[in-house]
Amino acid sequence: MEQNLRSALTEFDIGFGPLVPDEDIIKTGRVPVDNYLSVDRFEQEAEIFRHVWLNVGLDSEVPHPGDWIVRDIEAAKASLLIVRGQNDVIRAFHNVCSHRALKLVWGERGCDKQFVCPYHAWSYGTDGSLRGIPDRQSFPDVDPATSGLTPVSIETWKGLIFVNLDRNPRQTLKAFLGGVADILEHTPLDKFRHSARLTGIVRSNWKAGLDAASEGYHVGALHRDSAKEMVCSKSNPYVHFKSIDFFGPHRRTSNTGNPEYRLSDQKPVHKLIFESVPQVTVAGSDRSLSFAGPGINTTQAEDWSNDQFSIFPNFVLNLALNGFWSMHYWPISVDSFRWEAHYHFAKAATSWSERFALEGSVALNRDISSEDTACTQHQQLAMASGARPFLQFGVYELLCRHEAAVWEAIIKRRTAAPLAKTANSRGSR
Amino acid sequence: MQSLPPAFADLAPFLSTWGTLETQEQRYLARQHMRFAELRAFYDRMAPRIREILTHLDRFPVDQPLPAPEEALYRLALGLTEAAAAVEVYGMAEVPFVPKPHVVTTTWSDGTR
């Protein structure tokens, strides 16, 4: 564990120069409760969301020319329109009309050849270009060539769509992902093109949500009715990670499941669901699509269940036996966030019974995540009481320590040299 | 008035609860507002027949809309995914301590090109 704590102090860079995770947090595991309560701190975190790469969607959500999705990044007060153009290029724009700065597209997804503003019917192509201004002669000063939708930097990699709201991103996506990209490059992430996206609002600080996804310690207690029997084993009852790695601001653990878990005849519907389609979370039985390959399950654990990548700032990616699932924690305010989960399956249902099982699988996973979000809502209320000055993370909650220590370093740097100033000195504002 | 395929006509009393619900979001909300005894009664009638129900539905192509009686039957089957979570996992209607209403939106994407 000493070695792990030392590794956790590895330098990282999110585009503002090299930083070292806060040593006190890494070593003691103590994180001030105020980090989850302070509006000022929340706003500083939200500012960082405007300058780093964020995973906002999947290539497979916009498979055909004209397909579009709208994604909100509440921390940046941004609504993004992500669209696959007629030439197959996926672009991202601020979802804002050039005329009166109105939210352009009010739906969530669709397929169109053009976008027409509901207010005065200005229209745009799927490449963002301004196509039509009704009563054109009333706008003599508008040059359509420079009045298209405001573009947002976008990179699609391994089927994942990332955006960066900085007008001049400080890093390429590959540089930002660093060692995480080197490992994921060899995985079949992009082969799982059938997915369910779940989203809901949670009344707690977004970091409390992320914390709950960052350790297995809570599974035996909080998930006693649901996931415990799948995850907690005799040899690893507290779900200690088998290995942990740090890649700049990102991190990864390799985790075990319960090899003695059997589908119970006492739960016939549950059993039918699990037997009908490969399960993409921890309880799989068909290993033919396993992510276990180069760079994954590096300890070669027999009871391996998943490798979890926690990608800064809010993206958790779990590579498991038969697929993968991901979760996002989108800050809204100091005490609310939007929880988002994706369950990725290798193929669409080929029968109604498979469709039933996919729906059932997602419902069961949703309930397990709801146990976490219910918990963090109670945590938020209790933290606000001021009864405790700090949270105490254990050594196997090292992902939580690292996350807090990375943020501590960023916020300290920002307090010393505000971002706007840094940006000016680079001439990017 | 919805109807079910003749072999499953005895399940018609459950159509008023589950037959009109089209999304997982709606089914999850409906479950939260039901008493456990209601979910249990539905589960007890449906669970022993779910394999028979799915075998019937599997005679129809999955990429085309189902005939109305089969669509109604499928909605009952999906209702069972929620009832089964309540009965088989929690022994209560809702996930313990989750504030109600708990709204979770589910959207499926099939990116196969």
Residue A206 belongs to some domain of the structure: yes
- Per-residue DSSP letter, A348: -
Number of CB atoms found within 10 A of residue B58's CB: 16
Q: Which of A314, A340, A326, A330 is nearest to A73 (CA)?
A: A330
Residue A40 belongs to some domain of the structure: yes
Residues of chain B in contact with residue A363, where contact means CB-CB under 8 angstroms, are: 24, 27-28, 81-82, 85
Q: Is it the case that residue A83 has pLDDT exceeding 90?
A: yes
Domain final residue, candidates A109, A134, A165: A165
Establish if A356 touches chain B: CB-CB under 8 angstroms.
yes
Residue A422 belongs to some domain of the structure: no
The closest CB to that of A269, out of B88, B90, B108, belongs to B88
Q: Which of A209, A203, A211 is nearest to A336 (CA)?
A: A203
Q: Which of A313, A199, A215 is nearest to A255 (CA)?
A: A215
Q: Is it the case that residue A58 has pLDDT exceeding 70?
A: yes
- Amino acid A145: pLDDT: 95
- Amino acid A416: pLDDT: 82
Q: Which residues of B touch A (CB under 8 A)?
A: 24, 27-28, 43, 47, 50-51, 54-55, 57-58, 60, 62, 66, 74, 77-78, 80-82, 84-85, 88-91, 95-99, 102-113
Domain final residue, candidates A165, A199, A217: A165
A400 in the same domain as A333: yes
Tokens describing residue A39: 């509006």
Q: What's the average model confidence in pLDDT over A183-212?
A: 94
A43 in the same domain as A119: no
Is A330 in a helix, a strand, or coil?
Answer: strand
- For A110-135, what is each residue's pLDDT tens digit? 999 999 999 999 999 999 999 999 99
To probe the interface with B, which of A337, A356, A378 has the most B CB atoms within 10 Å?
A356
Output the domain CATH number for residue A353. Answer: 3.90.380.10
Hey, are the CB atoms on B109 and A61 less than 8 Å from each other? yes
A290 in the same domain as A317: yes
Q: Which of A350, A59, A342 is nearest to A195 (CA)?
A: A342
What is the C-alpha separation between A305 and A318, in angstroms, rounded? 10
A155 in the same domain as A183: no
What is the C-alpha separation between A91 and A407, in angstroms, rounded? 30
Nearest-neighbour CA in chain B from A313: distance (Å): 23
Amino acid at A373: T
Q: Is it the case that residue A423 has pLDDT exceeding 50?
A: no
Residues of chain B in contact with residue A200, where contact means CB-CB under 8 angstroms, are: 102-105
Residue A171 belongs to some domain of the structure: no
Share of chain A above pLDDT 90, in %: 83
Establish if A297 touches chain B: CB-CB under 8 angstroms.
no
* Domain coverage including residue A126: 54-165
Residue A60 belongs to some domain of the structure: yes
The closest CB to that of B111, out of A61, A350, A366, belongs to A61
- Amino acid A424: pLDDT: 42
Establish if A283 touches chain B: CB-CB under 8 angstroms.
no
Nearest-neighbour CA in chain A from B61: distance (Å): 7
Of the pLDDT bands very low, low, confident and very high (cuts 50, 70, 90), residue B113 is: low
What is the C-alpha separation between A142 and B97, in angstroms, rounded? 56
Tokens describing residue A322: 């038969």
Q: What's the average model confidence in pLDDT over A28-54?
A: 98
| pTM: predicted TM-score of the whole model, two decimal places | 0.94
Domain final residue, candidates A115, A134, A165: A165
What is the C-alpha separation between A310 and A371, in angstroms, rounded? 20
Q: Which of A264, A275, A191 is nearest to A226 (CA)?
A: A264
Q: What is the DSSP string of B2-64?
A: ----GGGGGGGGGHHHHTT--SHHHHHHHHHTS-HHHHHHHHHHHGGGHHHHHHHHTTS-TTS
Residues A92 and A81 sit within 8 Å (Cβ to Cβ): yes
Of the pLDDT bands very low, low, confident and very high (cuts 50, 70, 90), residue A323 is: confident
- For A129-144, what is each residue's pLDDT tens digit? 999 999 999 999 999 9
User: What is the overall mean pLDDT for chain A?
Assistant: 93
Of the pLDDT bands very low, low, confident and very high (cuts 50, 70, 90), residue A295 is: confident
Establish if A107 touches chain B: CB-CB under 8 angstroms.
no
- Amino acid A375: pLDDT: 96
A81 in the same domain as A204: no
- Amino acid A38: pLDDT: 98
Residues of chain A in contact with residue B106, where contact means CB-CB under 8 angstroms, are: 196-198, 362, 366
Output the domain CATH number for residue A151. Answer: 2.102.10.10
- Amino acid A56: pLDDT: 98
- For A201-219, what is each residue's pLDDT tens digit? 999 999 999 999 999 999 9
Hey, are the CB atoms on B28 and A353 less than 8 Å from each other? no
A223 in the same domain as A147: no
Residue A427 belongs to some domain of the structure: no
What is the C-alpha separation between B84 and B42, in angstroms, rounded? 9
Residue A163 phi/psi, 5-degree rounding, is: -125, 160
A215 in the same domain as A152: no
What is the C-alpha separation between A427 and A414, in angstroms, rounded? 18
Residues of chain B in contact with residue A64, where contact means CB-CB under 8 angstroms, are: 113
Residue A73 phi/psi, 5-degree rounding, is: -120, 90
Q: What's the average model confidence in pLDDT over A241-252?
A: 97
The A residues from 8 to 67 touching B (CB cutoff 8 Å) are 58-61, 63-64
Q: Is it the case that residue A427 has pLDDT exceeding 90?
A: no
Hey, are the CB atoms on B62 and A195 less than 8 Å from each other? no
To probe the interface with B, which of A359, A378, A379 has the most B CB atoms within 10 Å?
A359
A388 in the same domain as A310: yes
Count of domains observed in chain A: 2
- Amino acid A415: pLDDT: 83
Residues A429 and A420 sit within 8 Å (Cβ to Cβ): yes
